[in-house]
């Protein structure tokens, strides 16, 4: 409808078709932008940027909002929010998020590692031992995990 042969030009039809196409394209672009900004993986990228900027309050806000529609990223969103809570010295909230995170994703060594540190700092030695054992089992080659294991368990793994 937009393009006609040179002798068969119909300006009003061509103009209307061009207008409809422009409106349709604009609507699809807006829909695509909204769909991607509401996507949990997009939110995780933005959260990483906020962590680099050390804007932990914004991390908590963005992660909390993203948890309304987490897709398959709920454990990661909880982990990122727990990191912000740790940085803001809100250990109980961080522990809650990390515990929920490991319930959702059993093989999440970073979450177990952070849990071990938090449990240890609160004097919950049994929980710290359990968490560090799991973290070490999941990443036995990681030097930080080995050091934490030695610190909490009092022996080499």
pLDDT for position 109: 95
Q: How far apart are the first and last CA of the chain?
A: 73
pLDDT for position 4: 64
Q: What share of the chain is helix, strand, coil (3-state, %, to 5)?
A: 75, 0, 25
Cβ atoms of 157 and 149 closer than 8 Å: yes
Predicted TM-score (pTM) of the model is 0.74
Kindly state the tokens that stand for 54: 């050390």
Q: What pLDDT digit, counting tens, does each position of 12-52 carry?
A: 877 888 888 889 888 887 777 666 666 778 888 899 999 99
Residue found by looking up tokens 């349709």 in the block: 24
pLDDT cut 90: percent of the chain above it: 65
């Amino acid at each position: 409808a937009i393009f006609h042969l040179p002798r068969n030009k119909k300006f009003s039809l061509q103009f209307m078709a061009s207008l409809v196409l422009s409106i349709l394209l604009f609507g699809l672009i807006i829909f695509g932008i909204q769909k991607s900004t509401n996507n949990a993986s997009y939110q995780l990228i933005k959260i990483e940027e906020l962590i680099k900027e050390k804007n932990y309050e914004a991390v908590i806000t963005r992660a909390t909002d993203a948890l309304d529609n987490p897709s398959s990223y709920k454990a990661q969103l909880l982990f990122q929010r727990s990191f912000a809570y740790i940085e803001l010295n809100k250990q109980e909230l961080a522990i809650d998020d990390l515990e929920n995170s490991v319930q959702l994703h059993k093989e999440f060594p970073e979450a177990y590692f952070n849990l071990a540190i938090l449990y240890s700092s609160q004097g919950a030695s049994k929980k710290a031992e359990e968490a560090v054992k799991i973290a070490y089992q999941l990443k036995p080659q990681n030097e930080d995990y080995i050091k934490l294991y030695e610190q909490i368990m009092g022996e080499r793994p």
